[in-house]
Amino acid sequence: MINLEKLRNKLVVFLENARWWPSSNREFEIVDVFRGCKGILLVLESNNQLYQLPLSPVENVPEDILKEKRFLEYDGKKWIESEYTIYYMDLMDSLEVIEKETYREIRGRVVEASPIALGTTNVVAKHKLDSGLEIVVKSYRLLPINNSEPLIITKLHSSSFKYIPKLYYSYILRLDKKIHSSFIMDYIRGVGDGGKPFSDSFKGYLEKAKGKNKSLLKSSYRLRLARKLGLIIADMHVKLNPGLSSGFFGLEEISNSDVSLWIKRIENRYKWIINRLDQLILDSSGREKNRYEFWRSVITGKKFRKILDKVKHDLDKYYMGAYKGRIHQDLHLQQMIYVPENEVFIITDFEGEPGRSDKERIVKEPLVRDLATMVTSFHYLTFTAYHEAHKHRDPHTTAARLLKYKIPVTWVWAMRHSVEMILSYSICTSRDRIGRDLFGFKKYNLMKHYHLLLPPWIVERALYEISYELSYRPHWFVIPVLGIIHSPIPYMI
């Protein structure tokens, strides 16, 4: 018999050390306990949100989990999150409240299990079977009303999209309604995230830029890989949007209310950014205060505000009556794994843009927004590599230096790769190639007019990134600020 009060007291300390548990959620209740083979599954409620927590007893707590204090002692045993043990699938298979969907069968038993990362908002673990097969367990802790990732992953799987990990199983928790609990998928052995080949290339570009023979610079481009990205994104969009539909997948006409919503989002983010900077200025002093004041003057300056005004004008001009559809929403190079043997990128995350409400994560948006987030990703990559190459003490120093250039070296490289990706995408999504229109632009063509159609969404995404950085890494917000001023696909104003 489980003593819920005693277990709850143990959980209080455990949850304080769990990255997936919001720091504001101090009060919670255990609403369900399901006993199974090799463990238990808890359902917790806090602030009207449900969380799942599978736990299994272990003899010895692994060192990395011990260091992060991600274990609890109860009933004379030590318990850790089941995904980090070899018992997870045994536990889930034994629970009547769990429904299992099979995509491919796995032969063998799990003999090793370990966290891939402990600092994530969901639990991600690597398991190894006695057959040698390596798999990933991705388990959701928060059980949202609307979780688009399982829908997108299963849709892409059923459409034979090649650029996601192979699926084996999904576990579905049956409460008042069915909620995806976790996925079991193939472990992708790559050389790092999707940015690594580009980052290595750009660092080589910087070295060659020091020399006199500028013709060598082109040898440091990875344009073929940029074209590959365009192809992958195009294939994803085609499969997520098989036609006109008001359902979860498919294209719909953009309405006046859609455009108004996007403009309002931009205005609200800009106001929040100014207010946040004002607070940081009040809370700081000396050099740090001067830096915040400097960048505030940039953001409130005439050029920056002129760009924002043009964004709002262009959203109405180009997108009213065009199509919106199902997109990735948070597409960037760190959401991918690069596999050099085939020179492909595998997309591993479809959770949507962090910070959005459940409702905002399922809205449809123009497909080119995913291209815009990739453009900002190229900007981030070149800035970071430049920062590391010059060994500057802080991002402000790097940003202030690049701001002085009319055409910085980072812009040239990011622009070339962004354009190559966009043109590849444009070819792969053209009416001639797929036999239908994905965009709904009345007078414009993506291949010819990408320089008009993408900038509003590049700025919209950069404002999100400024907000994100000011919330979590205030010294790094200068990167997306510079990404608006020196956008790889710039506004001509």
Q: How confident is the model at residue 358 (pLDDT cuts 50, 70, 90)?
A: confident
Instruction: Identify the pLDDT of residue 26.
Output: 76
Q: Is 447 domain-assigned?
A: yes
303 lies in the same domain as 203: yes
Q: How confident is the model at residue 218 (pLDDT cuts 50, 70, 90)?
A: low
DSSP letter (8 states) at residue 166: P
- Over 80: is that where the pLDDT of 258 sits? yes
Alpha carbons 159 and 334: distance in angstroms, whole number: 24
- Over 70: is that where the pLDDT of 214 sits? no
19 lies in the same domain as 155: yes
- Over 80: is that where the pLDDT of 217 sits? no
Instruction: Identify the pLDDT of residue 491.
Output: 84
226 lies in the same domain as 156: no
Least Cα distance to 364 among 242, 241, 239, 467 occurs for 241
- Over 90: is that where the pLDDT of 265 sits? yes
Q: What is the DSSP string of 358-410?
A: HHHHT--B-THHHHHHHHHHHHHHHHHHHHHHTT-SSHHHHHHHHHT-SS-HH
308 lies in the same domain as 427: yes
208 lies in the same domain as 177: no
**CATH number for the domain harbouring residue 400:** 3.90.1200.10
Question: What digits encode the pLDDT tens for the residues 367-395?
Answer: 999 999 999 999 999 999 999 999 888 99
Give burial (CB, 10 Å; 0-12/13-18/19+) of 137.
Answer: buried
- Over 70: is that where the pLDDT of 364 sits? yes
Query: End of a domain among 147, 167, 186?
Result: 186
For β-strands 344-347 and 336-339, DSSP reports them as antiparallel
Q: How confident is the model at residue 212 (pLDDT cuts 50, 70, 90)?
A: low
Residue 472 vs residues 103, 287, 467, 468: alpha-carbon distances, Å: 38, 20, 9, 6
Residue 249 vs residues 176, 235, 243: alpha-carbon distances, Å: 25, 14, 8
Beta bridge partners of 251: 244
Q: Is 191 domain-assigned?
A: no
pTM above 0.85, yes or no: yes
416 lies in the same domain as 438: yes
216 lies in the same domain as 235: yes
- Over 80: is that where the pLDDT of 439 sits? yes
Q: How confident is the model at residue 182 (pLDDT cuts 50, 70, 90)?
A: very high
| Cα torsion through 325, 329, 332, 336, rounded to 10 | -80
What is the number of structural domains in the chain? 2
What's the average model confidence in pLDDT over 33-45? 97
Domain that holds residue 134: 4-186
Instruction: Identify the pLDDT of residue 38.
Output: 94
257 lies in the same domain as 361: yes
Q: Is 492 domain-assigned?
A: no
Give the chain's mean pLDDT: 95
Are the CB atoms for 141 and 52 separated by under 8 Å?
yes
- Over 70: is that where the pLDDT of 215 sits? no
- 252 vs 1 pLDDT, higher one: 252
119 lies in the same domain as 245: no
Which pairs count as long-range contacts for 13-18, CB under 8 Å and 24+ apart, including other chains?
Answer: 13/69, 13/72, 14/69, 14/70, 14/71, 14/72, 17/68, 17/69, 17/70, 18/70, 18/141
- Over 80: is that where the pLDDT of 121 sits? yes
167 lies in the same domain as 201: no
- Over 80: is that where the pLDDT of 31 sits? yes
Q: Is 491 domain-assigned?
A: no
Q: Is 245 domain-assigned?
A: yes
171 lies in the same domain as 209: no
Query: End of a domain among 164, 186, 208?
Result: 186
Q: How confident is the model at residue 220 (pLDDT cuts 50, 70, 90)?
A: confident
What's the average model confidence in pLDDT over 465-485? 97
